[in-house]
A and B are shown apart, each in its own frame.
Chain A
Amino acid sequence: MEEKIKKHNSSWQDGIAKNITFIVTKDCQLACKYCYLVGKNTKERMSWEVAKQAIDYILDNEEDFKEDSVIWDFIGGEPFLEIELIDKICDYIKVELYRRNHHWFNSYRFSFSTNGINYHTDKVQDFIKKNREHLSIGITIDGTQQKHDLNRIWKTPEMEQGIAPQPQEERGSYDDVVRNIPLWLEQFPGAGTKVTISSADIPYICESVLHLYSLGIHEVNINCVFEDVWKEGDDTLFEAQLMQLADAIIDGEYYKEYSCSFFTENMGKPMDCVYENTNWCGAGKMLSIDAAGNFYPCTRFAQYSLRDKKAWIIGNVNDGIDKNKLRPFFTLDRCTQSTQECIDCEVAGGCAWCQGENYDAADTPTIYQRATAICKMHKARVRANNYYWNKLYRKLELEGIAQEKAIEHTKMSDNKNNC
C-alpha cells in the first residue's frame, strides 16, 4: 500500500555530510517582512580573502572534518547577488580538493537557498551549467500570489534608511520569482521549496500548498517558526487548515506524486529518555562563516539572526575553531534541555526545536533551555497528521478491497467463460 504514497525525498547525504555555510552577503533585493525586521538591512559582503582563508583552514585541518562528504552552503541575504564571488569560491574549492587529494573530492555539493529573482541571469545560469552535477538549489515561494506578495516585497531606498513603506508603495515579488520556476524545475526536476509558517500565514496554508503543487513543485517542506509568535486560537485554526489540506491531498490524490512535510508518519508518539535521547538540531555539527571571518555553530548563532543574545562565536579564520566552544553542542541531548512536561509528553515524537532559537529565547545564555512556544502548534499538527494517515490508509484499504473484488470478479467471469 505504501508504494502508492510519494515518499519525502531526504536531502543529499542527509545527516552524514558536513554542512559548511558561507554567509556571503547580508544584502537582498527584497525586504520580507518576517526577515527584514531582524536586521538584515546591512550590506556586509564577504571578501574573497576571508572566503579563501576559511577554505584553507577547513582543508588544512582535514582530520577535524572527518565526515564522508560536504555540503558547501551559500546563504544571504540573497546569495546570488554575490554570484561572482561564489563562482570563485567554488572553483577554488574544486581545485584545492583535487590538488590535496582530499577525501571530499567527488563527494561535495554546493547548495543555495535563493529568492529566485536572479535565477535566469547569465551569470547564474553559467554557474549552474558549470556545476550542474554538484548542485542543489531551493527557491522560496510562499504560496499563492496574494500570500507571497503580502510578505515578500521589494526593498525601497527608503527602507534602506530604516523607513517602512506605505502599504500602497509595497511591491510584491511573486511575478519576478514565478517566471523562473519552469526553468528551475527543468534543471532540477525533483527540487522542493521551503515554506515557513507564522501566525498570519495560517489561513493560507491549504491554498498555498496546493498552489505550489500547481506550479509543478512536488515537494513542499513546510514548518512553523519556532519563535514565540503564536496567538490565542492559532492552534485551532492551524489544525483546521491542516485537515482541509489533508482532505484536498487525499481527495485529489496528490499523495501519489506530491509530498508535504506537515504529514509525516510515525510522529506524535511518546519518547524514551534513554533510547530516544538525541538532539534534534544539527547546530555544532555544522559550521557557518560570516563576512568578518567569524565561525559559528550554525547561522542562527550569528548576530544578525539573534534578537536578544550575543553572537555565539566559536573561532575565526585566523585562530581556527576553539573546540572547547563546541563541546556543549556535541553533548547536548534531548532530555537534558527539556522541561519535565516535554519529557513526559505523550506526543513528543516529531516535536522539533531550533538550538539557535532556544538560545535566543533562554533565560540565561545557554543552549540547554528548550523553547516551547511551538508546543500547542505541534499538538495541533499531530491531531491533523493522525487524521491524514487514518483517512489515507482507509481510502487505500477500501480501494485495495475494491480492486481485489474486481480481480475476483474478473476471474469468476473468466472461469465462467472457460466452462
Chain B
Amino acid sequence: MLQYLIIQLDDTSTSYCHYTNIRNEKRLISLDDLRAGILWAMKENLMIQYVLPDYELPAEYIEEMESIDNSKIVSSHSTMINNADVIVLNGWEKGFTFRENGIYVLRITKDSLFAYSEEIKMVLPAVTRLNIVITDVETFTDADCETYKIVLESFAKEVEKLYVAGKSPQLNLLTDRMMLDKMNNCNAGYESITLAPDGCFYVCPAFYLANEDDDFGLGKSKYNVGNLIDGLDIKNPQLYRLDHAPICRHCDAYQCKRCVWLNRKTTYEVNTPSREQCVVAHIERNVAAQLLTSIRTYGEFLPERNGIEVLECLDPFEKANKW
C-alpha cells in the first residue's frame, strides 16, 4: 500500500540513493504542482518526503512545504542543511563535521568505500544513523566481494565495540538485518511514489532523472506513472510488490534495498535483481549474522529474535530449482 510521497523539488535536488543525478540546470517544481502534490498526499494519507536542491528555496515554497508534516532530504552542501532530517554526502568528504544525532546517507563508490573504510567507521559513534549506499553495486566483481566482506567485518567489530559500551549505533548494512524480521526494501512503486518538477509521478527519482534517450535495452529508461491531473497510473503495479518478485520473495536478506531501478537496468525486469545485487546483500546479511552472534556472547541481546544462520549460497537464484 502506498505510504510515502517523495517530492523531488528541483531537477538539481540531491540523489539520496543508487541513481546519479547529473542535472545542473535548475528546474523548480511549480508552486501549483507543489500545492497539488501536498493536497493529493493529504487525501491519500501519505507521508511527504521532500528532496531539496542546494540553493535557498523561495519563501512561499517553504511556507507551502511546511503546511504539512514532512521530512527533508538535503545534501551536505545545501543551504538548507540546518532544516534537514536526512543529510546526504555525495562521496566521502574529508573533514566533514557530522552532527551528533544526525541521520546521514553516504553515497559512495565501492572503491572509495574500500579506500576510506577506516575513516567511515569512525563516524558510527558520532551519529544516530548512517546509511551507506554503494552507487556502483552492479559492477561488483568476485574480488570486490572479498574486499567488501573484509570491510564489513571491520565495521562489525566497531559496531560490536559500541554495543558493548552500551551504545546503539545504526549502520544500515549491518544493524538493520539484526533488527528486522521481514523485508524492509525500498518498495518504490508500491509503498512510495515520486512527484517530479514536471508534475508527473515516477516510480522513484531515478526514473525521472534518466535522460530522454537513455535506454538500458527494451526502450526508454525514463517513464512516468501518471500525473497530477489524471492521477496515478502504474502499469503492471503488481511487479513492484514483493509477492511478484520470484527471487526476492524467497530471500531473507531483509535489509536489502531490492532496488527496482537497478533491477530494470541489469536484468530488464523491475522485479528481478542482478546477481551482484544479491551477492552484495548476502555478504551484508552474513556479516550481520556473525555480528548478532558475537554481541550475544556478552549477554542477552534482542532476545525476541531468532539467530541468523550464515548462508553458503550468496545468490538465492541458484536455488531456483528447489522452490
Contacts and interface: CB of A to CB of B under 8 A. Distances in A.
Contact of B271 (A313, A330, A365, A368): A368
A166 B218 CA distance: 37
B320 A330 contact: yes
Q: Residue among B215, B272, B275 with the most chain A CB within 10 A?
A: B272
Given A327-B247, A336-B244, A367 B218 contact: no
A310 B320 contact: no
B219 to A, nearest CB: 5
A331 B219 contact: no
A415 B266 CA distance: 81
B268 A325 contact: yes
A309 B219 contact: yes
A364 interface: yes
A18 to B, nearest CB: 16
Given A336-B244, A368-B269, A327 B236 contact: no
B218 A327 contact: no
A362 B269 CA distance: 13
B272 A331 contact: yes
Query: Which bucket holds chain B's interface residue count?
Result: 20 to 34
A401 to B, nearest CB: 48
A336 B267 CA distance: 17
B320 A312 contact: no
Nearest to B235: A363
B202 interface: no
Contacts of A365: 218-219, 268
* Chain A at the B interface: SS class: loop
Contacts of A19: none
Contact of A323 (B218, B244, B275): B275
Contact of A333 (B236, B246, B268, B270): B246
Contacts of B148: none
A363 B223 CA distance: 12
A71 to B, nearest CB: 22
Contacts of B231: none
Nearest to A308: B219
B219 A368 contact: no
Given A324-B266, A325-B268, A364 B246 contact: no
Contact of A331 (B235, B268, B275, B320): B320
A366 interface: yes
Interface residues of A, number: 22
Given A363-B235, A366-B239, A327 B272 contact: yes
A312 B217 contact: yes
B275 A327 contact: yes
B244 A368 contact: yes
Contacts of B215: 310
Interface centre among B218, B244, B273, B317 (most CB of A within 10 A): B218
Overall SS of chain B's interface: loop
Contact of A330 (B218, B235, B317): B317
Nearest to B247: A331
B269 A367 contact: yes
Nearest to B248: A331
Contact of B267 (A310, A327, A363, A369): A327
B151 to A, nearest CB: 24
Contacts of A333: 246
Nearest to A274: B323
B49 interface: no
A212 to B, nearest CB: 39
Q: Which of A309, A362, A363, A366 has the most CB of B within 10 A?
A: A366
B194 interface: no
Interface in A310-352: 310, 312-313, 323-325, 327-328, 330-333, 336
B274 interface: yes
A313 B216 CA distance: 11
Contact of A368 (B236, B247, B266, B317): B236
Contacts of A330: 317, 320
Contacts of A331: 246-247, 272, 317, 320
A325 B263 CA distance: 10
Contacts of A324: 266-267, 274-276
A342 to B, nearest CB: 13
Contacts of A327: 247, 267, 269, 272-275, 317
Contacts of A366: 236, 239, 269-270
Contact of B217 (A310, A336, A362): A310
Nearest to A313: B217
Nearest to B266: A324
Contacts of B274: 324, 327
B236 A325 contact: no
A369 B270 CA distance: 13
Interface in B82-134: none
A330 B267 CA distance: 12
Contacts of A323: 275
Contact of B218 (A312, A332, A368): A312
Nearest to A301: B218
A167 to B, nearest CB: 38
A328 B317 contact: no
Nearest to A332: B246
A405 B214 CA distance: 78
B176 to A, nearest CB: 25
B317 A364 contact: no
Given A363-B235, A368-B239, A328 B217 contact: no
Contacts of A362: 236
B193 to A, nearest CB: 16
Contacts of A363: 235-236
A279 to B, nearest CB: 10
Q: Which 8 A-B pairs have the closest CB atoms?
A: A331-B246, A365-B218, A363-B235, A328-B269, A324-B274, A328-B272, A364-B235, A324-B266
8 contacts: A324-B266, A324-B274, A324-B275, A327-B267, A327-B269, A327-B275, A331-B317, A336-B244
Interface of B: 215, 217-219, 235-236, 239, 244, 246-247, 266-276, 317, 320
Given A324-B275, A328-B268, A362-B236, 4 more contacts: A312-B217, A330-B320, A331-B272, A336-B246
Interface of A: 309-310, 312-313, 323-325, 327-328, 330-333, 336, 362-369
